[in-house]
Amino acid sequence: MTAPLRLGTRGSALAMAQSSQIAEALTAATGRPVELVEVITAGDRSNAPVHRLGVGVFVSALRDALTARTIDFAVHSYKDLPTAAAAGLHIAAVPARQDPRDALIAQGGRTLAELPPGATVGTGALRRIAQLHALGLQLEVTPIRGNIDTRLARVLGPEADLDAVVLARAGLARIGRTDTITETLDPMLMLPAPAQGALAVECRVDDQDLVELLALLDHAPSRAAVTAERALLATLEAGCSAPVAAYAELAEGDDGDEIYLRGAVISPDGTRDLRLSRTGTPADAAEIGKALAAELLDLGADSILGHEGHTGPGTQQFGSTE
């Protein structure tokens, strides 16, 4: 009997859910059994705000386990990955992406527009904090940490202390909690983080049999969209204290499929908000992202990013999908 493939995963409900979905999909496609191996990361051991924890805090322990060959492959929330490639490792698959939009969960079933001035809104992402400020709704926005259930309890639990929270819709969908959503936020209001809603299935580059096996799970349109978004992120060289958003959509054009990429750089207080878009072919996904980043830099994005947020190429960390 073929030995089970060892899939490394964080132990949170979300990480286990998305890893289980990948394991089931791989077994269905190939017949190979898969066992989950829990790996505790630095991000799981800390209660500090995500943007203060450093780069790859939810990723490095999984990659160490891959390198040490204690697991065969790993599943990451793609937006947790630094943009720099990891030596000896390979993103073998980007499965079909979940809805990348953000979601509001508010007391009383309210939408964002229905929240009164002074309402308290919690979120773990500076990108969301900046965009909420930029809307000019006079909301009190506060950083929060914790898994999805912990964050939902801040609004829906018996000891709720917030009027609303904003989370990634994809995470809520993966653990079956979309029933809590009071509004899925239009990207015109809240542009997602680069690669939000996407998963990255990673293995060792020298494990060619597994590379080929995992490639069966790859979804080319999702990979192209994520490639464009992360190329923008890498070119901006933004640190986690400088909110950057990007969202690429594929649509049928006159001459075949086209990518429509929107990107934004927003100051944390919301007073400066640069937004641009660009189109091109899926084959040019990376070049589209780089070109849009260059246009944002020409408009002064570097002055928003600043030296304080600049950590060098490939070192972005936007926090867990949760």
Residues identified as active-site: 80
Pairing of strands 140-143, 120-123: parallel
Residue 124's nearest CA partner among 108, 102, 109 is 102
How is 265-320 classified by DSSP, letter by letter?
EE-TTSS-EEEEEEEE-GGGHHHHHHHHHHHHHHTTHHHHHHHHHB--TT------
Q: Which residue shows structure tokens 């630095």?
A: 42
Per-position b or e across 105-144, b if 16+ CB within 10 A of its CB: bbeeebebeebeeebbbbbbbbbbbbbbbbeebebebeeb
d(Cα 118, Cα 16) in Å, to the nearest integer? Answer: 36
Per-position b or e across 61-77, b if 16+ CB within 10 A of its CB: bbbebbeeeebbbbbbb
